[in-house]
Chains A and B, each alone.
Chain A
Amino acid sequence: MSIPVLKFDAVIVGAGGAGLRSAIQLSEAGQKTAVLSKVFPTRSHTVAAQGGVAASLGNSEEDHWHWHMYDTVKGSDWLGDQDAIEFMCRKANEVVVELEHYGMPFDRLDNGKIYQRPFGGHMSNFGEKPVRRSCAAADRTGHAMLHAMYQRNVKANTQFFVEWMALDLIRDSEGAVVGVTAMEMETGQVVIFHAKAVIFATGGSGRIYYSSTNAFINTGDGLGMAARAGIPLEDMEFWQFHPTGVAGAGVLITEGVRGEGGILRNASKERFMERYAPNAKDLASRDVVSRAMATEIKEGRGCGPNKDYVLLDITHLDPATIMKRLPGIREIGIQFAGVDCIKEPLPVVPTCHYQMGGIPTNYSGRVVAPKNGELRAEVPGFYAAGECACASVHGANRLGTNSLLDLLVFGKSAGDSAVEDLKLGKAHRELPADAAAQSLARIDALNTRRGGASVNETRLAMQRTMQDHAGVFRFGDMLKQGVEKILEVEKAARQLEIGDKSLVWNTARVEALEMENLIEVAKATMISAEARKESRGAHVRDDAPDTPEHPNGRDDENWLKHTLFSPVDNTITYKPVNMTPLSVETIALKTRSY
């Protein structure tokens, strides 16, 4: 079967913030660049980012990239690579100013400079007091950013392939990446994109969890493709959770609800936070509240037929206060929980929000993987940036507003690295004879399989398993069971069947292909989480508690290292954390406390 081949200098998969930023570098350098996206670029999930982008501009008060670096290392619970973190924090001002020049409508101070606001974890003078470091465009920072960068790409003649789904990475016999296969949804046609450089910017994979704030598009396509091509996934046990997502939907309930007097209750209507945080109660920090909720559910005090959520009660508040101080909350309750929060409490659960791990890269945005004893060998022709990549700057926990910074800095850096490599002037490497075989086999199986597993049921089984066994607070026995369960789900995910076999706009086929990506991420997460026998950042285990010997349950002697999960044989290796910054001294290990 003859498959069309389209030839480009560079192909970028994903048109969110990281993809658009890297495309600007390539197209403006005159490289023939294609960007593939499942949706129109300005419908990428970057649009949902509201908080802002961190940069130590110092427009409102004194600030310094070194302080930002310190905060990021501390936030990462020392799992972040200090060379990459220094690189990111030093580049922050440059990428924000560039964005301003692209036309990004940042909020302004009276003197015309970019307005900056404080955000959790960002401090001045090495953790002394909060600093105003976040640059935002009202509550539409991500949205405005995408528009500015999309326009810039149009000007630079980037070629967009919209409503195309990338299927598989193509590697040659030496392991170099030489392109991707992709499917056009409008026709169902599979095409080979032959390229000298392939950049993955496919975003997160939060849909592996039953309760996730991530839009449906976040199906870990880049991670799935990398895994199928034998690239290991790094630090996949680390996922950031938000305490209050609407149970069953994942839509966020702002922390402001508890700020206005909202109370968390279990099935006996008990205000359980009084037991976990006698002083702060419902206003304790995100991690404390999330863990308390998870413990109530695990110990059988959850609500509903499955006892799998708790209640957020604001029925004692004046309805006028709710309408005035918490706009949109009543609508969210009605729409997504079928509950009018003025009359009844809202069902909530800790909800997956952000993926810290991903495809391993260095700070140049080049993908690195173990080869011949070298732990960080570059994979020729392959780059990654944004949430799908692990540089690693977020380590075990991400600071708010560092995600938009990550995608700008490493999107640009990956683009620059690709340009640098392309300038060597080498010809396209030859495509392997079977370049599209894997993709065609996957599609053929979906077209012909009878008696296979349902996509919806398999997805639900995966999401339930991840939520119950590798949620915000983890238990050794549950993780062990979780590994067995997710390997069972994987068997079903390898045998998916779809009812609709049509070629054109076949959403069922796309969802099956996405499911094959999600399961790779879920499996990597569960096995990596079970293996890490300490608590660090967002990975908190009941059997690795806070002790004088190991404050917060962190065990640097044994676990100050990155996980590398190999999808080929489900095994794990580790690589050291880079504790050597580019120009400053190491930020020495300390107990993380705020």
Chain B
Amino acid sequence: MTHDEIGKLRWRCVRRALLELDISLSRFLDERFSGLTDKDQRLFAELVEMEDHDLWYLISGQAECKEIRFEPIVAMLRKGTVS
């Protein structure tokens, strides 16, 4: 991703409606994002476009991931929750 794309993604991760997402998404960006492939980075960018409640339930394991393509990213986000 380009510098500008990452800047836009960062803004959309650190200014959410829910505090839970502000914290978990910004932490993921700081600690894990740069190690992802470009394809996974773009999947992450797509995933965070979800509605806040739905995304938080997904990350916190209170809801199942219904789209196979997001499963690896969701697994990484969840792994972040138990490390």
Contact = CB atoms under 8 A, between A and B. Distances in A.
Question: Bound pair: A and B?
Answer: yes
Interface in A325-364: 327-328, 331-332, 334-336
> Chain B interface residue count: which class?
20 to 34
Given A44-B17, A47-B52, A504 B7 contact: yes
Interface string B37-81: 000000000000001110000001110000000000000000011
Nearest to B82: A334
B18 interface: yes
A271 to B, nearest CB: 29
A185 B11 contact: yes
Nearest to B27: A335
A335 B60 contact: yes
A216 B18 contact: no
Interface string A42-63: 1111111000000000000000
A505 B8 contact: yes
A334 B81 contact: yes
Interface string B16-46: 1111101110100000000000000000000
Contact of A328 (B10, B19, B23, B62): B62
A251 interface: yes
Contacts of A502: 3, 7
Nearest to B62: A328
A346 to B, nearest CB: 15
B60 A250 contact: no
A176 interface: no
Contacts of A249: 19, 23
Contacts of A328: 60, 62
Contact of A214 (B19, B20, B53): B19
B25 to A, nearest CB: 10
Contacts of B52: 43, 47, 143
Contacts of A332: 20, 60
A213 B51 contact: no
Most buried by A among B7, B8, B51: B7
A215 interface: yes
A336 B3 CA distance: 29
B12 to A, nearest CB: 8
Contacts of B14: 216, 507
B16 A43 contact: yes
Contacts of B19: 48, 212-216, 249-251
Contact of A505 (B11, B20, B81, B82): B11
B11 A163 contact: yes
A497 to B, nearest CB: 19
Nearest to B19: A215
Given A186-B8, A328-B62, A331-B81, A336 B23 contact: yes
A505 B15 CA distance: 13
A257 interface: no
Contact of A217 (B10, B15, B26): B15
Contacts of A422: none
Contacts of B62: 327-328, 331
Contacts, number: 90
A424 to B, nearest CB: 37
Contact of B60 (A39, A43, A48, A331): A331
Given A43-B15, A186-B8, A331-B62, A143 B53 contact: yes
Contacts of A504: 4, 7
A251 B81 contact: no
B20 A251 contact: yes
A202 to B, nearest CB: 13
Interface string A170-194: 0000000000000001100000000
A214 B16 CA distance: 10
A38 interface: yes
A217 B22 CA distance: 9
Interface in A483-521: 502, 504-507, 510
Contacts of B8: 185-186, 505
A507 B53 contact: no
A510 B11 contact: yes
A140 B24 contact: no
Most buried by A among B10, B14, B19, B82: B19
Contact of A216 (B4, B22, B51): B22
A215 B52 CA distance: 12
Contacts of A334: 81-82
Interface string A307-337: 0000000000000000000011001101110
A183 to B, nearest CB: 12
A508 B7 CA distance: 10
B24 to A, nearest CB: 6
Contact of B7 (A44, A47, A507): A507
A327 B23 CA distance: 20
19 contacts: A39-B12, A39-B15, A43-B15, A44-B17, A45-B17, A46-B17, A47-B52, A140-B53, A143-B52, A214-B19, A215-B17, A215-B22, A331-B60, A332-B20, A335-B80, A335-B81, A336-B20, A505-B4, A505-B7
Interface of A: 38-39, 42-48, 139-140, 143, 163, 185-186, 212-217, 249-251, 327-328, 331-332, 334-336, 502, 504-507, 510
Interface of B: 3-4, 7-8, 10-12, 14-20, 22-24, 26, 51-53, 60-62, 80-82
The 8 closest A-B pairs by CB, nearest first: A505-B7, A47-B17, A331-B60, A335-B81, A216-B22, A215-B19, A505-B8, A217-B15
Given A215-B15, A216-B14, 14 more contacts: A38-B15, A47-B18, A215-B22, A216-B19, A249-B19, A249-B23, A250-B19, A331-B81, A334-B81, A336-B23, A504-B7, A505-B4, A507-B7, A507-B14
